[in-house]
Amino acid sequence: MNGLFRFVDFLFIPLSPGNPYIQTSDDLEITPSLKIRGLQESYMKKMIIGITLISLMILTGCGTNTEIASRSLEELHKEQGIPVESRTLASENFSTYLSFTSTLTGIKESTGSAMLLDTIEHVLVEVGDFVEKDQIILTLPKSNPQANYYQSMAGFNAAEQAFHRIESLYASNGISRQNYDDAKTQYEVQLANWTMVQDMVEVKAPIAGYVTRLAVREADNVSPGQTLFSISNYDSLSSRVWVSDHEIRKINKGQKVSASWEGNTLQGTVTQVDLAQNPDKMAFGVNVLFDNMDHILPSGITAEIDIETSLNPNSIVLHRREILNDNQGMYVFINVDGTAQRVNIQPGLRQGLYYQIAEGLNPEDELITQGLTLLHDNSPIHLLQENESLALIPEN
C-alpha cells in the first residue's frame, strides 16, 4: 500500500520547472508551445494509468472480502444448518374451474316508458323502493289532448252504467241474449280504451320488484318511447357466459358456480348449457343463476364468474414456488430429522399456480417452503422460528 501512496504522490506533483520528474524547457530543443503540450500529454497518460491501477487494486480487495464472507456463510450453514421455513401438509379440497367475466342481472327486469309527449307531473317512488305489479310509479298531466283522458272516462262510465242496466234486465228475462251481448261488448271496448288512457298518464310498474333506476325527475320533458324507470327483482341474479368449443365439454347443468365482485361472493348453479354453437359469437351459451336474497350484489354489475369443473377431496396441494424442477422432473424437499430430503413428485391437476400432487407426498409430511435454492439431498437445515430473521434465506 505504501507503494500505492508513493505512486499517487507522483501523479499529483505540480507541472513546474522544479519538478525533477518533468523535463524543463532547457532540456527540450522545441518551441515553447510544443513544450507545454508535451508536458500535458505526458501528465494525462500517467493519470489514466494510475486510475486504472487503483481501480484494479480496490476491486481485488473487495473480491477477497466477498470470498471470505462467502466461506464464512458456508461454514455457518455446515455448523448450524441452512436456515429454512416449512409447513405441515394436510389433505384439502382441490377444485378446478373456468373463469369468465359477465354482467349479472335480476332474474326479472323490466322498464317503464313514456307514451305521450309531455312533462313529468309527479314521481311517486324512490330508487330502492319495493313496488307491486301495476303500482303507479309516476304521472303525466291528464289534460294532455293526446290522451283524451276525461272523454275516455266519460265514455267508460256511460258504457258501464248501460251494461249494468242491461244485465239486470237480462237476468229477469226482460231482453234478449243479443241485446245483452251487444251491451257487454260495448262495455268491454270502453273499458279497454279507458285502461289504455290511464296507462298513458299513470305509468305503472310492469312487474313486482325494486326500483333500480329513475331516469327522470318531476318537470322533465319526455317523449314517446323514452325509458322512464327500471324495475328489477334481484332476489336472484342471472348471467349468460360464452364458452369455447374445447371447454364446453367440461360444463354440465347443475355444476357449482360463484360470482365475485368487490370482495363479495355469491354461490349458484349452472341452469342451462346450449347444445349448439352460436354462429355469431362462435361459442356455446351457458346460463348461471345465483341466490341473492340478502341483496349482497346489485343488478347490472360486471362480476368474475367461476364455474367449478372438478372437485377432488383429500388432495395434497402445493404452490408453484414450493416446487423445484430439474432434468429428473419435479421435486420438493421435506424435513426428516433435521435434514432436507429430496422427494420426486408427480403432479396431477393444475389450477393457476396451484398443483394437486398425485404421487410422492403424504399428509403430515413437513414441506420445506423457503430457502430451497441452497438445499441438496441430506443438507442439514435450521428451521427458523417466528422471532428469527429471514435475511439469510435466499429467494426461491
Would you say residue 296 lies in a domain? yes
**∠ CA(305), CA(310), CA(316), 5° rounding?**
110
Q: Find residue 192's DSSP bridge partners.
A: none
Question: Looking at the structure, do residues 193 and 168 belong to the same domain, yes or no?
Answer: yes
Would you say residue 194 lies in a domain? yes
Residue that has been written with the C-alpha cell 522544479 in this structure: 18
Say which CATH number the domain at 333 has. Answer: 2.40.420.20
* pLDDT in 10s for each residue of the chain, 396 residues: 545 445 445 444 454 455 544 444 444 444 455 454 555 556 566 566 666 656 656 555 555 444 444 556 677 667 778 899 999 999 999 999 999 999 999 988 899 999 999 999 999 999 989 999 999 999 999 999 999 999 999 999 999 999 999 999 999 888 899 999 999 999 999 999 999 999 999 999 999 999 999 999 999 999 999 999 999 999 999 999 999 999 999 999 999 999 999 999 999 999 999 999 999 999 999 999 999 999 999 989 999 999 999 999 999 999 999 999 999 999 999 999 999 999 999 999 999 999 999 999 999 999 999 999 889 899 999 898 776 655 554 444
Neighbours of 5 (CB within 10 A): 9
* SS3 of 159-185: HHHHHHHHHHHHHCCCCCHHHHHHHHH
Phi-psi region of 139 (alpha: psi -120 to 50; beta: other; left: phi over 0): beta
Q: What pLDDT score does 68 carry?
A: 45
Torsion angle defined by CA atoms of residues 336, 337, 338 and 343, in that order, rounded to the nearest 10 degrees: -10
Q: Of 196, 228, 260, which marks where a domain is finished?
A: 228
Q: What pLDDT score does 132 carry?
A: 94
In this structure, what C-alpha cell is assigned to residue 358? 398425485
Q: Of 280, 312, 344, which marks where a domain is finished?
A: 312
**∠ CA(276), CA(280), CA(282), 5° rounding?**
55
Nearest to 331 by CA among 308, 360, 295: 360
The structural domain count of the chain equals 4
Q: State the amino acid at position 265 in one-letter form.
A: T
Q: Is 269 exposed, middle or buried (0-12, 13-18, 19+ CB in 10 A)?
A: middle
Question: Looking at the structure, do residues 321 and 298 belong to the same domain, yes or no?
Answer: no
Q: Of 177, 194, 228, which marks where a domain is finished?
A: 228
Q: What pLDDT score does 60 carry?
A: 55
What are the backbone angles phi and psi of residue 87, rounded to the nearest 5°? -145, 150
pTM for the full model?
0.60
Would you say residue 224 lies in a domain? yes
Q: State the amino acid at position 342 in one-letter form.
A: R
Q: Find residue 336's DSSP bridge partners.
A: 339
Contact between residue 84 and residue 373 where contact means Cβ atoms under 8 Å apart: no
Q: What pLDDT score does 80 carry?
A: 77
Question: Looking at the structure, do residues 101 and 123 belong to the same domain, yes or no?
Answer: no
Would you say residue 347 lies in a domain? yes
Neighbours of 209 (CB within 10 A): 24
Question: Looking at the structure, do residues 68 and 101 belong to the same domain, yes or no?
Answer: no
Question: Looking at the structure, do residues 267 and 333 belong to the same domain, yes or no?
Answer: no
Q: What pLDDT score does 8 carry?
A: 47
Measured between alpha carbons, how far is 369 from 89 in angstroms, rounded to an integer?
A: 11
CB contact set of 132 (below 8 Å; sequence gap of 6+): 205, 208
Total residue length of the chain: 396
Q: What pLDDT score does 56 carry?
A: 59
Say which CATH number the domain at 115 has. Answer: 2.40.50.100
Would you say residue 159 lies in a domain? yes
Q: Print the domain residue range for 56.
A: 2-73
Question: Looking at the structure, do residues 308 and 321 belong to the same domain, yes or no?
Answer: no
